Structure 1
Amino acid sequence: MAGIKKRAIEAGAKSYQWLEHRLGLIKPLSDAASHPTPANNASWMYVFGSAATVLLVLQVVTGILLALVYSPSANEAWGSLNLLNHNIQLGWYLRALHGWGSDFMIAIVLIHMVQVFLFGAYKFPRELTWMIGIVLLLLTLGMAFTGQVMRFDQDAYWGLGIGASIMSRVPLIGAPLVHLVLGGPIIGGATLSRFFTLHVFVIPGLLLGGVGLHIFMTLRHGVSDWPMPGRIVTKATYEREYHELTEKTGIPFVPDAAWKDAVFAAAILFSVMAFAFFFGPFGPGGQPDPTIIQTAPKPDFAFLWIYAVLAFLPPSLETPVLLVVPVVAIAAMLLLPLFAAEGERHWTKRPVAVLMVSVIAVSLGIFTRLGTYTPWSPVMSAWTADSVPAEYLHDRTPLERQGAMVLQDKQCRNCHSLSNVGGQRGPALDAIASRMTEDQIIRQVLQGGGNMPAYGNALNPSETKALVKFLMTLRGDHLSPAIDASRSLSDAGEMHKPSESPSSPSSRTTP
Structure 2
Amino acid sequence: MGELKQNVWKLYRWVESRLGLIEPMTEAATHPTPENNVSWMYVFGSAATVLLLLQVVTGVLLGLVYNPTAKDAWDSLQFINHNLSLGWYLRALHGWGSDFMVVIVLIHLIQVFLFGAYKFPRELTWIVGVFLLLLTLGMAFTGQVLRFDQDAYWGLGIGASLVSRVPWIGAPLVHIMLGGPIIGGATLSRFFALHVFIIPGTLLLGTGVHIWMVLRHGVSDWPMPGRLVSKDTYISEYHELTERTGVPFVPDGAWKDAVFAATMILAVMACAFFFGPIGPSGVPDPTIIQTVPKPDYPFYWLYSVLAFLPPALETPLILIAPVLIIAGLLLVPIVASEGERHWSRRPVAVLTVTIVVVALGIFTQLGSTTPWSPKMEAWSSDPIPEQYLKNRSPLEHQGALVLQNKQCRNCHMLGGSGGERGPALDTIATRMTEDQIIRQVLQGGGNMPAYGNALTPPETKALVQFLLTLKGNNVPLAEDASRKLAEAESTDRKSQ
TM-score of the two chains, using structure 2 as the length reference? 0.88
- Residue 75 (structure 1) aligned with residue 71 (structure 2): yes
Summarize the Cα distance change of 1:218–1:172 in structure 2 as closer, same or farther, 3 Å threshold: same
Summarize the Cα distance change of 1:454–1:112 in structure 2 as closer, same or farther, 3 Å threshold: closer
Deviation of 1:7 after TM superposition, in Å, equals 5.2
Task: In structure 1, give the amino acid aligned to 2:219.
Answer: V
For 1:279, the equivalent position in structure 2 comes to 275
For 1:123, the equivalent position in structure 2 comes to 119
For residues 112-151 of structure 1, the aligned pairs below 5 Å read: 112-151=108-147
Summarize the Cα distance change of 1:352–1:293 in structure 2 as closer, same or farther, 3 Å threshold: same
For 1:89, the equivalent position in structure 2 comes to 85
Deviation of 1:295 after TM superposition, in Å, equals 4.3
1:129-156 CA-partner distances (Å, limit 9, x unpaired): 1111111111111111221221122222
- Residue 187 (structure 1) aligned with residue 183 (structure 2): yes
Residues of 2 paired with 1:465 and 1:182: CA distance?
33
For 1:300, the equivalent position in structure 2 comes to 296
Task: In structure 2, give the amino acid aligned to 1:85.
Answer: N
Of 303, 315, 319, which aligns to 2:315?
319
- Residue 261 (structure 1) aligned with residue 267 (structure 2): no
Checking the alignment, whether the CA contact within 8 Å between 1:434 and 1:480 is kept in structure 2 is no
For 1:54, the equivalent position in structure 2 comes to 50
For residues 34-433 of structure 1, the aligned pairs below 5 Å read: 34-293=30-289, 295-373=291-369, 375-389=371-385, 404-430=400-426
Residues of 1 paired with 2:64 and 2:443: CA distance?
47
1:424 aligns to what SS in structure 2?
A: coil
Deviation of 1:454 after TM superposition, in Å, equals 4.6
- Residue 481 (structure 1) aligned with residue 481 (structure 2): no
Deviation of 1:30 after TM superposition, in Å, equals 1.3
Residues of 2 paired with 1:67 and 1:447: CA distance?
40
Summarize the Cα distance change of 1:182–1:274 in structure 2 as closer, same or farther, 3 Å threshold: same
Task: In structure 2, give the amino acid aligned to 1:215.
Answer: I
Checking the alignment, whether the CA contact within 8 Å between 2:291 and 2:376 is kept in structure 1 is no
Checking the alignment, whether the CA contact within 8 Å between 2:311 and 2:447 is kept in structure 1 is no
For residues 13-24 of structure 1, the aligned pairs below 5 Å read: 13-24=9-20
Select between 101-110 and 389-398 the one with higher mean Cα deviation: 389-398
1:319-353 CA-partner distances (Å, limit 9, x unpaired): 33333322222122112111111000011111111
Summarize the Cα distance change of 1:406–1:326 in structure 2 as closer, same or farther, 3 Å threshold: closer
1:446-487 CA-partner distances (Å, limit 9, x unpaired): 5544323455665567766765666566667xx452554776
Deviation of 1:361 after TM superposition, in Å, equals 1.9
Task: In structure 2, give the amino acid aligned to 1:197.
Answer: A
2:220 aligns to what SS in structure 1?
A: coil
Summarize the Cα distance change of 1:464–1:197 in structure 2 as closer, same or farther, 3 Å threshold: closer
Select between 370-379 and 341-350 the one with higher mean Cα deviation: 370-379
Task: In structure 1, give the amino acid aligned to 2:305.
Answer: V
Task: In structure 1, give the amino acid aligned to 2:339.
Answer: G
Summarize the Cα distance change of 1:8–1:306 in structure 2 as closer, same or farther, 3 Å threshold: same
Task: In structure 2, give the amino acid aligned to 1:275.
Answer: C
1:32-78 CA-partner distances (Å, limit 9, x unpaired): 11111111111111000000000000001001101111112222211
Task: In structure 2, give the amino acid aligned to 1:16.
Answer: Y
Residues of 2 paired with 1:409 and 1:180: CA distance?
35
Summarize the Cα distance change of 1:441–1:119 in structure 2 as closer, same or farther, 3 Å threshold: same
Summarize the Cα distance change of 1:481–1:466 in structure 2 as closer, same or farther, 3 Å threshold: farther
Residues of 2 paired with 1:266 and 1:29: CA distance?
22
Residues of 2 paired with 1:96 and 1:234: CA distance?
47
Residues of 1 paired with 2:148 and 2:103: CA distance?
24
Task: In structure 1, give the amino acid aligned to 2:382.
Answer: D
Tell me how large the CA RMSD over aligned residues is: 3.1
Checking the alignment, whether the CA contact within 8 Å between 1:70 and 1:77 is kept in structure 2 is yes
Task: In structure 2, give the amino acid aligned to 1:342.
Answer: E
Summarize the Cα distance change of 1:95–1:332 in structure 2 as closer, same or farther, 3 Å threshold: same
1:273-301 CA-partner distances (Å, limit 9, x unpaired): 11111111121222222334554432222
Residues of 1 paired with 2:199 and 2:174: CA distance?
19
TM-score of the two chains, using structure 1 as the length reference? 0.85
Residues of 1 paired with 2:174 and 2:454: CA distance?
30
Deviation of 1:214 after TM superposition, in Å, equals 0.8
Checking the alignment, whether the CA contact within 8 Å between 1:154 and 1:297 is kept in structure 2 is yes
Greater Cα radius of gyration, structure 1 or 2: 1
Task: In structure 2, give the amino acid aligned to 1:103.
Answer: D
Select between 53-62 and 186-195 the one with higher mean Cα deviation: 186-195
Summarize the Cα distance change of 1:376–1:447 in structure 2 as closer, same or farther, 3 Å threshold: farther
Task: In structure 2, give the amino acid aligned to 1:228.
Answer: M
Deviation of 1:196 after TM superposition, in Å, equals 1.6
Deviation of 1:263 after TM superposition, in Å, equals 0.7
Residues of 2 paired with 1:160 and 1:392: CA distance?
37
Summarize the Cα distance change of 1:426–1:126 in structure 2 as closer, same or farther, 3 Å threshold: same
Checking the alignment, whether the CA contact within 8 Å between 2:43 and 2:257 is kept in structure 1 is yes
Summarize the Cα distance change of 1:419–1:294 in structure 2 as closer, same or farther, 3 Å threshold: same
Checking the alignment, whether the CA contact within 8 Å between 2:429 and 2:478 is kept in structure 1 is no
Deviation of 1:14 after TM superposition, in Å, equals 3.6
